A and B are shown apart, each in its own frame.
Chain A
């Protein structure tokens, strides 16, 4: 296995991407500005409609949930800077997220309380402070961990992650053990200098959401701009071929270090945002599981694409918050593994691949339709089986009726239900296997221009 194939995987669409003009960086300047303005409008819209329904039927999550989603998206975007842009696989990125969170909790605890300045409120600046602390930690830990990429970097990040996670349990007074540290937001309104008091009260979740949305928009723009700077381009070069970068005269180590520090900053901002929204930071914010969430979100969404981590984090949030099942982690894990094996370019990669190459969409319909139907059958069988197993595990014999997604009821005590669900799953799997060839022919045909 040469080093080259390794890097092309991280950016599986590397060769194809040259043709893609639909990436944000390939769009005209005016359109880019328009897209960011639209993002800003969506964020402001969240402020006015949080916890209500828009258009009469579309439910919007509460402000706290929206704020948490923004934090997770930003966290995934900062992880994408590492993995997608810089080619560094980290198993401990949550350390910087959690550290930013703890720093914000302490800052809020002391400077809202005993050491606070009269007439001045810290809250609007807390995410920035979290980012600076995350950056500081990344500055220290990155100084030795970014010397090498690949497996050594992954192992050091794993070790540091475990160290931080265990430390949270050991230093009970300082980091609060499993429960973590919390603070209480104060009750003052937002005071604009020379203007006076506003109606934005800091104890309200709406105000906090507005602060978080502001920092989120700023961070997203900064991440986008970073990817367009020479340093950002160089980090892509280090990912794709570090020897060549070294040969041209750049230090691959300092490029990686720079990317690592920037990613640490944005992870810290995300952690600070989450701490501000929930008024606490816990041990699980530092955990390897949470680093894994970032890895999954980036990979499922599409590593290396600007839009990838956003899509991935939204998919994660959809499963974690919307899917009415205790088994959402299992479903996410299955999706992740399937993506790793068959679609390493992620959802964003698949979409862009189609936009860029498909000349004749009509050719795809029948094959994709068949693939969709067989996948749906297999997924349905799998879900019923998994929910039945889960039900037996939780409720046992006392209540034999399982309710997958609360949609319908299944008697787990009857053997026939187990047999048909396993059968349905198998039939779907066989269908997926059979339709494989058709999809690839259809894909080849759709790419060709002109008649057959």
Chain B
């Protein structure tokens, strides 16, 4: 293990965890507001990526224009969805809302397939942020990931200050816990809900704009990210913003580490035998037959594959043993 690899992987994981947080922050805000898990949240993330692709690539405008404009546009779409879709279903209860957002997610995916096609869109990093920021050994850390970290952290600080230090934030916090009282005090609670839903989707869209150059932009993006985001907010505790931050970091760093290292039992065994000075050929042949059998699935399971399974396993275990999550107070 060299320190360059560890540092760069940790920083990459931090960048990934922070954009996970941008998405899950909106989702967890919406959950604490309406008590509904928005299945379509990751779809707004994906729409953010596609809109940025149109603005920056197809219209030839700059990435720097897409960065503020696209989240605003998606936020407006989110508000329309809340006003004319979710509010319509709200009277039927949470299960109905969950089913509605599920249908919406399905529809957005089909819509994206229809308009943009199935192929992965080439969505490049802006000129200014190309190239590495620094190099340790043979490991490079891209300046674009540093940019992602900076944007995410400033959004988090801004959101934190907005919610705790301003009058609007106070009203929102009050509306989350005591909507009827706030309504009796003369505030327009449905408007607050709509605004929070808009801000949540705008955050997801912002994450889409900044994250999708480092990821593949395709109609499956939402379906890939969605479950991970659910894992994060369940793990952090539903409705807890701080919990979402902690869980995003954990999941982001762990998945990045699993992805970056391609270890499995065989490669570990090989490096041990080489380190002990034993000829690998002696072990290679007998284990070769073993690998082709069903046991081979487990023996050859690489850390990357473990990384694709463990978030869901973690989520199921947390829901069984600690349904309120790491920092959450309420059970769902």
Q: How far is the CA of A135 from the CA of B102 in the complex (A)?
A: 27
Interchain CB contact under 8 A, A158 and B103: no
Chain B residues, CB < 8 A from A169: 305, 308
- Decide if A299 is an interface residue (CB 8 Å cutoff): yes
B89 partner, pick from A166, A171, A340, beta carbons under 8 A: A340
Interchain CB contact under 8 A, B297 and A172: yes
- Decide if B96 is an interface residue (CB 8 Å cutoff): yes
Interface string of B228-268 (1 = CB under 8 A from A): 00110010000000000000000000000000000000000
Q: Which residue of A lies closest to B96 (CB)?
A: A9
Q: Which residue of B lies closest to A396 (CB)?
A: B117
Q: How far is the CA of A337 from the CA of B312 in the complex (A)?
A: 27
Interface residues of B in 289-328 (CB under 8 A from A): 292-294, 296-298, 301, 305, 308-309, 312-313, 315-316, 319-320, 323
Interchain CB contact under 8 A, A152 and B319: yes
Interchain CB contact under 8 A, B313 and A163: yes
Q: How far is the CA of A174 from the CA of B115 in the complex (A)?
A: 38
Output the residue of B89, B93, B230, B308 with the most chain A CB within 10 A.
Answer: B93
- Decide if B133 is an interface residue (CB 8 Å cutoff): no
Chain A residues, CB < 8 A from B293: 173
Chain A residues, CB < 8 A from B95: 6, 9-10, 87, 89, 150, 154
Binds B, one of A52-60, A200-208, A328-336: A328-336
Interchain CB contact under 8 A, B315 and A155: yes
Interchain CB contact under 8 A, A292 and B309: no
Interface residues of B in 69-108 (CB under 8 A from A): 85, 88-96, 98-100, 102-104, 106-107
Interface string of A102-129 (1 = CB under 8 A from B): 0000000000000000000000000000
A344 partner, pick from B92, B292, B320, B323, beta carbons under 8 A: B92
Interchain CB contact under 8 A, A151 and B294: no
- Decide if A229 is an interface residue (CB 8 Å cutoff): no
Interchain CB contact under 8 A, A170 and B308: yes
Interface residues of A in 312-350 (CB under 8 A from B): 327, 329-330, 333-334, 336-337, 340-341, 344
Interchain CB contact under 8 A, A389 and B230: no
Q: With A6-B96, A173-B294, A390-B114 as given contacts, are A163 and B316 in contact (CB-CB < 8 Å)?
A: yes
Q: How far is the CB of B228 from chain A (nearest CB, A)?
A: 9
Interchain CB contact under 8 A, B100 and A337: yes
Interface residues of A in 151-197 (CB under 8 A from B): 151-152, 154-156, 158-160, 162-163, 166-167, 169-174
Q: With A5-B92, A170-B309, A173-B292 as given contacts, are A152 and B114 in contact (CB-CB < 8 Å)?
A: no
- Decide if B287 is an interface residue (CB 8 Å cutoff): no
Interchain CB contact under 8 A, A152 and B107: no
Q: How far is the CB of A429 from chain B (nearest CB, A)?
A: 13
A340 partner, pick from B99, B301, B320, beta carbons under 8 A: B99
Chain B residues, CB < 8 A from A389: 114-115
Q: How far is the CB of A393 from chain B (nearest CB, A)?
A: 5
Interchain CB contact under 8 A, A152 and B315: no
Chain B residues, CB < 8 A from A386: 114
Interchain CB contact under 8 A, A330 and B96: no
Q: How far is the CA of A172 from the CA of B292 in the complex (A)?
A: 10
Interface residues of A in 1-52 (CB under 8 A from B): 1, 5-10, 12
Chain B residues, CB < 8 A from A10: 95
Interchain CB contact under 8 A, B107 and A340: no
Interchain CB contact under 8 A, B35 and A1: yes
Interchain CB contact under 8 A, B315 and A344: no
A151 partner, pick from B37, B89, B90, B92, beta carbons under 8 A: B37
- Decide if A295 is an interface residue (CB 8 Å cutoff): yes
Interchain CB contact under 8 A, A160 and B294: no
Interchain CB contact under 8 A, A1 and B93: yes
Q: Can you list 20 A-B contacts with CB-CB less than 8 angstroms, sorted by A residue number?
A: A5-B92, A6-B96, A9-B95, A12-B92, A145-B320, A147-B320, A151-B37, A155-B315, A156-B316, A159-B316, A160-B316, A163-B316, A173-B292, A173-B294, A299-B99, A329-B110, A330-B107, A344-B92, A390-B114, A394-B117
